[in-house]
Amino acid sequence: MKPKLLIIILLLIVVPTMFLSIMATRALSDWDMILQKRLQSQAYTSAGIIKDRADALTQIELKKITSAIKIVHAKGAATREIARAAKKIETSNKLIKSIYLFMNPWDFIYPSNKELSLQNEQVLLALREKIASASSPTEPIYFTIDSKSYCFGLVSMQGVYAGYEVATDIFYAQLQELLKKIATDLIIYAESDHLLIMPDKQINIVGAQGVIVEGPFGVDVKPPHETVIAEVQLRQPFEQITIKAKVKDEEKLRKIATVRRSVYGWVILLLVFGIVAGVIIIWCSAVTEIRKARIRSNYVAGISHDLRTPLASMKLMTETLLNGNIKDSNKKTKFLEIILKETERLDQLVERVLFFVRYGQDALVFKLESIDVAVLINRAIEIMGERLCSTEKDYSNQGENNQLSDLVYKQIYKVSEITTIEVNVNIEDNLPHVELDISAMMQVIFNLLDNAVKYSITPAEQLKQITVDVQVRLYKKQSLLYSKEWVLITIRDYGIGVERKAQHKIFERFYRSPRAINYNVSGVGLGLSLCQHIIKTHGGKITVESNIDEGSKFSIYIPVL
C-alpha cells in the first residue's frame, strides 16, 4: 500500500479516534462530579420551591388581614367594629393564632389595653422599633419573640398597622405537607436549632441535632447524616428554619454512577475497537485486492506465453510448408500432424482460459450428461500425455505392453533425457454412470494431474522418475437413516506435500501454500479453487490428505445417478 494512503488513514481515522478516546476517558473520570452537580441543581430547585411556598403561607394571610381591615377602616368604622372584623378573621383561619391592630406610635387598637399582657408589651416594643427602623412604611414587618413569630403590614397611611401571631404548630404541619408533595430521589426536610421536620416522620420540636426517631422493631434510627447537598433559608419570621436536601441512598447512587460510567466506557471502547477494526479490515481488503490484481496480471502474462508457444510453432511450420521448403511428402505429413496437435493444444488452452474467466465472474454454466467415468479418466490421461510430450520431447506410451486388464494399466511418458512420468491407473469394473459436464470435469482432472506432476519435483535433486497414481472406484456410505453411493476418483503424488495448516486454505481463490512458493512451483492459486467449485456444483465434494515430503492425495466424490 502506498505511504500516502497510510498517512491519510492515520490523519483521518486513527488520530481522531485516539483524540476521541482521550477526551472520553477524561469526561468519564469527571462523571461523579457531573452527577453531583446535577443532583445539587435538582436539590436547590426542590428546596427553592419549598421555600417559596412556605414564605407564601405567611404572606397570603398577612395580605388577607390588611385587606379586610383596610376595607373596614376606610368606611370610618368605630374601633369596636374594627375589633369585630379582626376577631372574625382570627377565628376563621387556623394559621392565625391572634390578630393585632396597632396605631403608630401610640398603642394597640386590638386587643384593648385591658387585655394586654407582658407578651403583648414585648410585641408592642418590638413593633415600634421595627417601624422606626423600616426603610419604607409600606414594607412588611416580621419578627420573632420567644419562638413566637409575628407578621405586620400597613393598613392606612395614618399609621394603622394590622398583623398576626403565626400558629407555629399549624405552620410546621403545612410545611410538612409541602415537603411530602415534592417527589424526588432526594430527602427534603426542614431543620433549625430546635426543630426537625421530616416529610414521613413526626415533627420533632426539640434539639434537632440530638433527635432520635424510633424505627421498626424498636431500633433507634437517626436522621440521615449523609452530605447535605443543598440548603435554602426561609424568609422572616422563620429565617431560623433551613430547607435541606440530602441523597436518599448515597451508596446506591454511587453504584449506579459506577455502573453507568463502566457502560459508557465499554461503549467508547467498542466504538474505538469498531473504528480500528474497520480500518484493519479496509487495509486488509485493499492489500488483498492489490495482491489479487498482481496475481491476475501474472496469470494473464503466463497464459499469453502459453498461447504464443503453439502459435509460434504453427506459424513457423506453416510458413515452411507455404514457401515449399519441404519436398519430402513424409516430412510434410509430419509437419501437418504437428500443426494439428498444436491446434488441439491451443484449443485446450483457450478453453481453459475461458473456464478461468467465467469462474472469476461467477458465470460458469454446466451442461450435464450421463457418462462412464472410466472413459473420462482415460481420455484425460491421454490428453495429459500429449501435452507433456511436446514436439521437442520423446513420447513413449507403454500402456499396451504393461496393460494388466482393460481397467488397470500403466502409462510412462519420457519428458526429458533424465525424467520420465509414470501414471498408474486402477479403475474398478462395472462402475455406474454419473451426470457430469464433460468439459468442466476434464478441467478438474487436468488440474489435479498437472499439480501432481508439478509438486513431485523437489529442489534437492531433479527426480528421474515421477509417479502418479490414479484410482477410480465405487464408494458407499450407509447408516440407519440413509444409504448413498459415490464414484470416488483419487489422484496421488509423492512430492513435496502440503503443510497441515494450509490444507484447508488451498481451495481458496489465489491462495498458494508457503511450500509451493518456496519451491518456485508455478501457478496462480486458481486451479484447486476452480476444481472445488465445479465438484460442488455437481453435488460432490473434494478432499485432500497430505504429509510433508510424502506427497498428497486428492479425492473427488461424485454422486451416482
Higher pLDDT, 168 or 390: 168
Task: State residue 426's pLDDT score.
Answer: 92
Whole-structure pTM value = 0.47
- Name the CATH code of domain 32-169 (choices 3.30.160, 3.40.50, 3.20.20, 3.30.450): 3.30.450
% of the chain surpassing 90 pLDDT: 8
What would the pLDDT profile of 487-543 be if each residue is shown by its tens digit?
Answer: 999 999 998 899 888 888 888 877 888 888 777 776 667 788 888 988 998 899 999
Helix (H, G, I), strand (E, B) or coil at 492: strand
Task: Select, from the ranges 51-65, 296-310, 363-377, 515-529, the one with the highest average predicted confidence (pLDDT).
Answer: 51-65
Task: State residue 491's pLDDT score.
Answer: 95
Task: State residue 556's pLDDT score.
Answer: 94
The mean per-residue pLDDT over the stretch 161-172 comes to 88
The mean per-residue pLDDT over the stretch 319-347 comes to 82
Task: State residue 546's pLDDT score.
Answer: 92
Q: Is the pLDDT of residue 552 over 90?
A: yes
Least-confidence region, from 275-279, 391-395, 537-541: 391-395
Domain residue ranges of the chain, discontinuous segments joined by +: 32-169, 364-559
Task: State residue 132's pLDDT score.
Answer: 86
- Residue 113, sorted as left (phi over 0), alpha (psi -120 to 50) or beta, turns out to be alpha
What would the pLDDT profile of 201-232 be if each residue is shown by its tens digit?
Answer: 777 765 544 433 333 333 344 444 457 888 89
- Residue spans of beta strands (DSSP E) within 461-536: 465-478, 483-493
Closest residue by Cα to residue 439 from 537, 355, 341, 372: 355
- The class (CATH top level) of 364-559 is alpha beta
Q: Is the pLDDT of residue 305 over 70?
A: no
Least-confidence region, from 39-48, 182-191, 266-275, 327-336: 266-275
The mean per-residue pLDDT over the stretch 335-351 comes to 78
Task: State residue 358's pLDDT score.
Answer: 64
Rounded distance between C-alpha atoms, residue 190 and residue 193, angstroms? 11
Predicted confidence band of residue 557 (pLDDT cuts 50, 70, 90): very high
Predicted confidence band of residue 192 (pLDDT cuts 50, 70, 90): confident
Give phi and psi for 403, each to the nearest 5: -70, 130
Task: State residue 12's pLDDT score.
Answer: 65
Task: State residue 187's pLDDT score.
Answer: 82
Predicted confidence band of residue 402 (pLDDT cuts 50, 70, 90): very low
Q: Which residues contact 433 (CB under 8 A, 6 or more apart)?
A: 370, 371, 372, 560, 561
Give phi and psi for 138, each to the nearest 5: -85, -5
What cell was used for 120?
A: 403583648
Rounded distance between C-alpha atoms, residue 283 and residue 6, angstroms? 9
Task: State residue 447's pLDDT score.
Answer: 86
Whether 449 and 403 have beta carbons less than 8 Å apart is answered as no
